[in-house]
Amino acid sequence: MKPRIQTALLRSVLYVPGSNLKTLAKAPTLNADGLILDLEDSVAPEAKAQARQNVLETLRTTPAGHPQTRVVRINGIHTPLWEDDLNAVLTGLPDAVVISKVETPADLDGPAEHLYRLEQLREFPCALWAMIETPLGVRHAFEIASHPLVTCLVMGTSDLTRALGIPGDPQRIGLRHALQQTLLAARAARVRILDGVFVDLKNPEGFHAECHDGSLLGFDGKTVIHPNQIEPANLAFLPSERQAGEDRAVLDAWNAARARGEEICVVNGRLVERLHADQAAQRLARREMAKK
């Protein structure tokens, strides 16, 4: 059975180290659309067991129905840790589990089978989010996104930059093809997709620019690593008030045209068809969703 697709906004999704109790306590009070409770890179080997318990407690105190999408990133499938991670946290009913460095659909089979065994009584199985952070993952992005449990792809741009052997670049020229190819795969498979993190916390202007770039490319949102990055991401991945005004004008004109039995109209010199009205309605719905 396909997991229930999350309809909530995912403009900002904050990585939260599972070993940091202070950050875990604060994260659910922040305005991030989602949380990735991390058991992998941000947790030292000797802290893994305690981090599992910390994450489970966070899930239990922010139950399903919490405004934020609650996701757990488990340790890599090529380590002996991931099964213990799933066993420990799944009773907290996370909305999804993040699998890092997914390169082929077969990489998801082990976690998927484990989830099915643990979740036989749940109406909707826990979803999988697949991280695309290697060239092979980019090449197989559509097949990965088409896996029955996958509802979101997450770009791992730092690892992908290293794997491609390219320098860091504010314009992300070397990453352009990989970003667009993975985004096309997500859209073709009808799943969500998140842009990668921006690691220079002392460069807010650079972060704003990268959020704008991700929005123009078509990402649903951005993974973030600090609370200061949440609001800029939320704004960047939401239609502006100016866009909302234009969308209202398009819908008003379109509805008036339909009332006359017409399928097209002109708004401010631009031809408007049904697809433009549908796009306007979708953008306005996103703004309404953000108010809740």
Residue 55 belongs to domain with CATH number: 3.20.20.60
Of 63-67, 113-117, 228-232, the poorest mean pLDDT is in: 63-67
- The answer to whether 22 touches 227, Cβ cutoff 8 Å, is no
Q: Is the same domain home to 55 and 94?
A: yes
Is residue 90 assigned to a domain?
yes
Is residue 5 assigned to a domain?
no
Q: Which two tokens stand for residue 93?
A: 């009913």
- Mean predicted lDDT score pLDDT of the chain: 92
pLDDT, average across residues 93-97: 93
Categorize the per-residue pLDDT at 5 as very low, low, confident or very high, splitting at 50, 70 and 90.
low
Q: Is the same domain home to 89 and 125?
A: yes
Q: Which helix (H) or strand (E) holds 290?
A: helix 274-291
Categorize the per-residue pLDDT at 227 as very low, low, confident or very high, splitting at 50, 70 and 90.
very high
pLDDT number for residue 137: 98
Q: How many domains does the chain have?
A: 2
Q: Which two tokens stand for residue 76?
A: 């890599």
pLDDT number for residue 121: 46
Is residue 114 assigned to a domain?
yes
Q: Is the same domain home to 232 and 245?
A: no
Distance CA(167)–CA(216), nearest Å, equals 22
Q: Is the same domain home to 232 and 256?
A: no
Is residue 3 assigned to a domain?
no
Categorize the per-residue pLDDT at 2 as very low, low, confident or very high, splitting at 50, 70 and 90.
low
Q: Is the same domain home to 35 and 153?
A: yes
3-class DSSP state of 262: coil
Q: Is the same domain home to 198 and 279?
A: no
HSE value, Cβ hemisphere, 13 Å, CA-based, for 203: 10
Of 39-43, 45-49, 158-162, 267-271, the poorest mean pLDDT is in: 267-271
Categorize the per-residue pLDDT at 152 as very low, low, confident or very high, splitting at 50, 70 and 90.
very high
- The answer to whether 17 touches 23, Cβ cutoff 8 Å, is yes
Is residue 166 assigned to a domain?
yes
pLDDT number for residue 87: 94
Residue 190 corresponds to which amino acid? R
pLDDT, average across residues 45-53: 97
Q: Is the same domain home to 214 and 283?
A: no
Is residue 6 assigned to a domain?
no
Q: Is the same domain home to 165 and 260?
A: no
pLDDT number for residue 123: 59
Residue 86 lies in domain = 12-236
DSSP state of 76: P
First to last CA, the chain: 29
Is residue 115 assigned to a domain?
yes
Is residue 1 assigned to a domain?
no
- The reported pTM is 0.92
Q: Is the same domain home to 205 and 185?
A: yes
Q: Is the same domain home to 64 and 180?
A: yes
Q: Is the same domain home to 88 and 148?
A: yes
Q: Is the same domain home to 251 and 119?
A: no
Please say which residue of 236, 260, 277 terminates a domain: 236
